[in-house]
Amino acid sequence: MLRLLVIHGPNLQMLGARQPTVYGRTTLTQINQLLQAEAQRLNVSLTILQSNHEGDIVEAIGRARGRYAGILINPAAYTHTSVAIRDAIEGAALPTVEVHLSNIAAREPFRHTSLIAPVAVGQVSGFGVASYRLGLQALAAVVARRPAARRVDKSRAGR
C-alpha cells in the first residue's frame, strides 16, 4: 500500500470557527476523516500532520523522502511566504499536490502568488472541503503512474 503524507499548515486547526464565510464550517478533524475514508477507497495509507511552525513542516518534508510516495499539502499562509517549505518540497523530489479551501486567485492580491505551486505537480483550490478530496485523488493517480522503483510502499518504509 502506498503511503502519502498530508500536511496542514498554520491556523488550520481553527477550521470550522475561523472565518466560516471563507473557509466553511467543516473542522480539521472532519477533513481528516474525509481524507482517511478517501484514502481507504484509493488503497493508500495516510500520515497526517498539522503545524503552525514552519520549521516543523520543513522537517516533516525533509524526512518524507524514502518514507512516502507523495505529499498533499495545504501550506495555508506559508503558501505566499515560505521559501523554506518550497525548497524542502523541491529537495524531497516527491510528487506534491497543493490544496486550498478557498480560491486564492480570487482573494486579496498578496494571496495570488504561491511559492509552492512551481514545485508541485498541481494545485487544487476554491472547492472548499472537496479541494482536499480532489487533491488526494490527483496525488494518488500521479503516484500510481510512477515507476515502481521510485514509489515507496509500507513494506519498504524507513529502510
**Given the residues 8, 68, 78, 100, the one annotated as active site:** 100
Q: What grid cell was written down for 79?
A: 503558501
Q: Which residues are 74's β-sheet partners?
A: 8
Residue 123: what residue type? Q
SS3 of 125, please? Answer: strand
| Catalytic residue list contains 8 | no
Residue 100 is among the residues annotated as catalytic for this protein: yes
Cβ 92 vs Cβ 86: under 8 Å: no
**CA-CA distance, 109 to 116, in Å (whole number)?**
16
Q: Which of 23, 68, 78, 132 is catalytic?
A: 23
Catalytic residues: 23, 100
